[in-house]
Amino acid sequence: MGFLRDVTVAMACLSFLVDATPIQERQAADGINYNSYIIRGVNLGGWFVLEPWITPSIFEPYANGGGVVDEYTLSAKLGYSAAQSLLEQHWGSWITESDFAQIAAAGLNHVRIPIGYWALAPQSGDPYVQGQTNYLATALGWARTHGLKVVLDLHGAPGSQNGFDNSGRLGPIQWQTGNTVQATLDALHALTDFTLPYTDVVAGIELLNEPAGFSSNINMDTTKQFYYDGYGYIHQMAPNTLTVIHDAFLDIDSYWNGFMNSASGVSNVLLDTHIYQVFSPAENARTPCEHVANACTNGPKLAGTDKWVVVGEWTGAQTDCAKWLNGLGSGARYDGTFTGSGGSYYIGDCTGKSVGTAAGLSQVDQTNLRAYVEAQMDAYEAHTGWFFWCWKTESAPEWNFQDLWNNGLIPNPLTSRKFPGQCAPGAACQVPS
């Protein structure tokens, strides 16, 4: 693995010397120069990697037990044939060409599509089913038709890179044990090869979503080596395609500056960071003004990175009230019903926030959400841009871009502001606190 990294870096350096063009002037993704181009995108969450809170109808039969908590256990419970039938129906209906048309009409220019390793390089003994890439190929055609760029995101790795249900398997973190790292690279190779007919559409490939750098089970030297190896293959096969690396929940400046930047002879790397304010009791307890102020602090931090950086996930939610956001059958920190790590205490009532539509939110919540969304857009456009999580949900209105857009809670056009200048130095809070 170390030798492969040395070869990869040497190849990158030779290419760098030949064209003598630093990354700040390089153009990636079919001519896009991300120095002057702002990504404004959405995630197609819950499509090829299930999450109970995004599509609760699929998991409702197991709300009171049955051992199903994620796509892995759902597939195991149903058996291959029944799981295949259920998921084929879901893949063919959750996202359609109409969604791509609406995304483009909203002024968005990118979509980020999560996919699990099991769609590309399934492991022996896995209960997962396959067939996702047929729908993905169709989706890339829709993106081409509607002028959208795509970032393909490997959202789940063998053994789970974070223990979250969004990795496909809730539970212990076992990525980096056995052959799981090599198996992840195999999936990335398959994904890269799959994109070759679509290099005009696929702007980037994300090597791995949210590896848990905070966990003692994740060795960051191994993770960095994995990043170099994944980059090497993408750079060889599709040199104008961005290699997207996640920050592993570590500081984007102090930890990641100096890694895989132009000074090290590496080109076309995009750092992905995710910014939420709902996954601790203290964050849930913030006032709307405090949420806005905290969002604004990210602007200078993003601008201080030494490579392109995108906020690959963020939301309009200021609480964790969305049904099953913290796991199937789990409660919320906001109303004191969450019993998981970190605990919870009562802050307020989740009624009207946990399920429903954007139109059903209170007028105060709508005002606060619009201001919070605008502040985040202002801050996150300080560097390369953002992807909202996510395009649609069945019943979590604060996370549903499509619903928020249709109800006037997303700026239209995206550059307009009802609450201008929120992130300006010394700006006063413009919403009820």
Give the residue numbers marked as catalytic.
210, 313
Q: Which residues contact 59 (CB under 8 A, 6 or more apart)?
A: 50, 52, 68, 74, 324, 328
CA distances from 157 to 51, 161, 184, 235, 392 (A): 15, 6, 6, 21, 24
How far is 112 from 190, CA to CA, in rounded Å?
Answer: 18
Residue 335 sits at φ, ψ, to 5 deg, of -100, 10
- Picking from 250, 182, 243, the residue whose alpha carbon sits closest to that of residue 214 is 250
Counting Cα atoms < 13 Å in the Cβ hemisphere of 256 gives 27
Report yes or no: 187 and 120 within 8 Å, Cβ to Cβ.
Answer: yes
Tokens at residue 152, please?
């393909």
Sign of torsion, CA 65 395 138 182? negative
- How many other β-carbons are positioned within 10 Å of the β-carbon of residue 273? 24
